[in-house]
Amino acid sequence: MKRMILTAITLALTFGANAQKITQQATIAQAGEDLKEIRLPEPQRKGGKPLMECLNERKSLRDFGDKRLDFQMLSNFLWASYGVSREDGRRTAPTARNAQDISIYVVMEKGVYRWESTKNLLILLQEGDFRRETGPQPFVPKAQWNIAIVSDLSKYGEIEDPTSIKYGAMSAGYVSENMYLFCAAFDLATVARAMFDQEAMKKLLKLNKTEMVMLVHSVGVMP
Ligand SMILES: Cc1cc2nc3c(=O)[nH]c(=O)nc-3n(C[C@H](O)[C@H](O)[C@H](O)COP(=O)(O)O)c2cc1C
């Protein structure tokens, strides 16, 4: 009898410990999915208003409503901005010599993320809300997403060469216009900003010396 009770206690303790371990593992996995790496849904490549209406409605808006946009909208927005659109790896925005110097970063309430465009993943760089560090204008932290367009100037040669900077800035301009047109197509509010501290942004996004932040788009719902 004594032995049966002992066995029962041992079993209960072992099961309890395992159950706790499983729960802990699940929590870590969930946190990983939530924060360290966000797998975005497949972008929907259809819908929105006709191009002529988007051009007519494109505008800079610096006021944002409280309603939250979901990851499907973020995925669609990122794909429209600079997603791969053809089998040879070319994208929705052109780049000089097809250098594909652009990368995109999302600064939102949960953290700072780099968009891995070919896998459609958001990779966490820093946890926490750093939106206000992306620019001095008062509306900036109110935008749900502050999206940085970065050029790796080394893709064009010497980074101080004015031609490299010109090409990088032009590539970013095309991406920025895609962002504007997407927002017009889906009634979102956005503004392109060049007003930010380059060094602070480079630190925030963990960029290397050859990379330059060209523009940041504040994006959210219309007020
Ligand atoms: C390269 C560039 C930099 C800009 N920088 C800022 C900025 O730092 N802050 C801001 O509020 N708007 C910025 N804007 C938005 C312009 O002020 C805006 O496009 C202009 O007033 C025309 O308005 P529209 O976009 O509604 O046509 C920038 C636009 C461009 C193209």
What confidence score (pLDDT) does residue 34 get? 59
> Hey, whose CA ends up nearest to atom 18 of ligand 1?
60
Q: What is the DSSP string of the chain?
A: -HHHHHHHHHHHHHHHHHHHHHHHHHHHHHHIIIIIEEEPPPPP---S--HHHHHHH--------SPPP-HHHHHHHHHHHH-B-STTS-BSS--GGG---EEEEEEETTEEEEEETTTTEEEEEEES--GGGG-SSTTGGGSSEEEEEEEEGGGGS-TTSHHHHHHHHHHHHHHHHHHHHHHHHTTEEEEEE--S-HHHHHHHTT--TTEEEEEEEEEEE--
Number of other CB atoms surrounding residue 96 within 10 Å: 16
- Picking from 202, 200, 180, 181, the residue whose alpha carbon sits closest to that of residue 191 is 180
Running along the chain, 223 residues long, what does each successive block of 10 average in pLDDT?
49 43 33 74 97 98 97 98 98 98 98 97 97 98 98 96 97 98 98 98 98 98 96
Give this prediction's pTM.
Answer: 0.87
What confidence score (pLDDT) does residue 37 get? 94
CA 59 to ligand 1 center in whole angstroms:
9
CA 191 to ligand 1 center in whole angstroms:
6
CA 95 to ligand 1 center in whole angstroms:
22
What confidence score (pLDDT) does residue 187 get? 98
What confidence score (pLDDT) does residue 215 get? 98
**Domain residue limits, the chain:** 2-37, 40-221
What confidence score (pLDDT) does residue 31 get? 39
What confidence score (pLDDT) does residue 3 get? 54
126 Cβ closer than 6 Å to some ligand 1 atom: no
What confidence score (pLDDT) does residue 181 get? 98
d(CA 172, CA 165): 11
> Hey, whose CA ends up nearest to atom 30 of ligand 1?
192
Please report, for residues 55, 111, 119, 205, 211, the alpha-carbon distance to residue 64 in angstroms, rounded to integers and kept in the order given: 21, 19, 30, 24, 30
What confidence score (pLDDT) does residue 118 get? 96
* For ligand 1, mutation pick of 54, 56, 57, 60 (most atoms within 8 Å of CB): 60
Q: What is the CATH number of domain 40-221?
A: 3.40.109.10
